[in-house]
Amino acid sequence: MGMTLTEKILARHAGLDTVKPGDLINAKVDIALANDITAPIAIEEFHKSRAKRVFDTERVVLVLDHFVPNKDIKSAMQCKIVRNFAREQNIVNFFDSDEMGIEHALLPEKGLVLPGDLIIGADSHTCTYGALGAFSTGVGSTDFAAAMITGELWFRVPETMKFVYTGRLNPWVGGKDLILYTIGDIGVDGALYKAMEFTGPVIKMLDMSGRLTMANMATEAGAKNGIFEPDDVTEAYVSGRAIRPYDIIRADSDAEYSDVREYDVSGIEPQVAFPHLPENTRGISEVGKISIDQVVIGSCTNGRIEDLRIAAEILKGKRKDPNTRLIVIPATTSIYRTALGEGLLEIFLDAGAFISPPTCGPCLGGYMGILASGERAVTTTNRNFVGRMGHPESEVYLANPAVAAASAVLGRIGGPDEVMD
């Protein structure tokens, strides 16, 4: 029996000819990542272990993104710990204010994560890089510390579920809608500790931005990782960015999957996930008139330039509802600069938006848009748990950038067709 894409990557990094679901393996990592929340814990463990040097100064990546610019003394101290460690260890890929960016948008942009890689990150949305054909998964800070010291980590090989998308995408439907629809179908534990492999003719036509969005939210279905088989779209994205050689790995034709799900996307409209789980999805036509207080367009899920272009298309020549706050957060400095050059920021400002520097900020209820009791937000982020973006009595609705922008104009949850001329 052949191996799935996830199994083949894990086998190669473990130095084995073959692996099967359930096997416990020790594998070499290509990239070990942490941020300003998770790195300080790992750095403390690093020093407790009496380690002197990280395993590779180019493959340990540290990104300050969750509370940068620092919101208070505690966050400033956390960042200081990371900055000092990065200087002490001569970390090559340390990203601070001058190259600011949300880690899961920044690393693909910089060509640091590549097809065939095994990537671990002390952040649950590390699964984003599966869009490039890598095995990529989130780990705890102590596991990151171990990988930072040894360059290796243990894994249990997951089963793989295959998701096949056919048909034709409707207007304003993209990767965010496909993954929300899928999570709505299987539930937030529907892929628990499994690999989600996304494929089919619709996926072949999906751009890298849409793929990154889908892989990013695999963890919201409980998955160990999300992954796409590399193709021409992958090659076009990484060929001009890659900072080192990479391998294109594909699944065997006789690979075994624990489950195969097929979706005809022709019947999928823009999706909205209701509080308080990403599985509580409804098509935009089923939503009803729900008033909102805030809209956030950004995050590691939908803060890329393609997302901002969609939002700007909706908002151009319009003003947000006077009772609704609109926050736009480009995911990286490069994206910010591109949006500036294309005139997108002017469109957002004219629409009444507040534009933030790159940060995770409101997504985790950190800052830059905290919700008060009773307030509702439509957001392009990835989670809508109780209290995720502020007060436990607030509500978060997940949607794509087009729905988020349209909702800002309407002052209620609504679709782009309602505001387009």
Final residue of a structural domain among 214, 241, 263: 263
Question: Which three-class secondary structure string do you get for 354-410?
Answer: EECCCCCHHHHCCCCCCECCCCEEEECCCCCCCCCCECCCCEEEECCHHHHHHHHHH
Domain containing 327: what range?
271-418
Query: pLDDT exceeding 90 applies to what percent of the chain?
Result: 96
Q: What are the distances in angstroms from CA 3 to CA 24, 195, 228, 252?
A: 16, 13, 15, 6
Largest CA distance in the chain: 64
Answer whether 149's CB lies under 8 Å from 2's CB.
Answer: no
Domain stops at, among 243, 263, 283: 263
Q: How far apart are the first and last CA of the chain?
A: 55
- 223 and 113 belong to one structural domain: yes
Tokens of 180: 């929300």
Same domain, 140 and 120: yes
pLDDT of residue 100: 86
Overall number of domains in the chain: 2
Do 380 and 237 share a domain, yes or no?
Answer: no
pLDDT digits (tens, 9 = 90+) for 88-146: 999 999 999 778 899 999 999 999 999 999 999 999 999 999 999 999 999 999 999 99
Q: What percent of the chain is predicted at pLDDT more than 70? A: 100
pLDDT the model gives residue 99: 82
239 and 321 fall within a common domain: no
Pair (291, 394) in one structural domain: yes
On whether both 40 and 165 belong to a single domain, the answer is yes
User: What sign does the dihedral 256-261-266-270 (CA atoms) show?
Assistant: negative
pTM recorded for the entire structure = 0.94
Please answer whether residues 404 and 296 qualify as being in contact, where contact means their C-beta atoms are separated by less than 8 angstroms.
yes
- CATH number of the domain that 373 lies in? 3.30.499.10
**Would you say how long the chain is, in residues?**
421
Q: Is the pLDDT of residue 1 over 80?
A: no
| 384: pLDDT strictly greater than 80 | yes
Return d(Cα 78, Cα 64) in angstroms, integer. Answer: 10
Residue 9 is given by DSSP the state H
CA angle 403, 229, 257 (to 5 degrees): 100
Whole-number average pLDDT of the chain: 96
The pLDDT value recorded for residue 122 is 96
Q: Are residues 205 and 307 in the same domain?
A: no
Per-residue b or e along 56-90, where b marks 16 or more CB atoms closer than 10 Å to that residue's CB: eeebbbbbbbbbbbbeeeebeebbeebbebbeebe
- Whether residue 389 is predicted with pLDDT greater than 90 in this model: the reply is yes
The verdict on 175 and 214 lying in the same domain is yes
Residue 249 corresponds to which amino acid?
I
Q: What is the pLDDT of residues 314-337, one digit of tens each?
A: 999 999 999 999 999 999 999 999
pLDDT confidence bin for 420, thresholds 50/70/90: confident
> 307 with 284, same domain?
yes
The predicted pLDDT at position 97 comes to: 79
Pair (125, 234) in one structural domain: yes
Q: Tens digits of per-residue pLDDT, 273-328?
A: 999 999 999 999 999 899 999 999 999 999 999 999 999 999 999 999 999 999 99
The type of residue at 64 is L
CB 384 within 8 A of CB 396: yes
The span from the CA of 370 to the CA of 279, in Å, is 23
Residues 165 and 306 in one domain: no
Separation of alpha carbons 193 and 349, rounded Å: 43
Q: Can you read off the two tokens belonging to residue 304?
A: 């890329």
Last residue of a domain, one of 263, 292, 319: 263
**Per-residue model confidence as pLDDT tens digits over 192-250:** 999 999 999 999 999 999 999 999 999 999 999 999 999 999 999 999 899 999 999 99
Residues 173 and 88 in one domain: yes
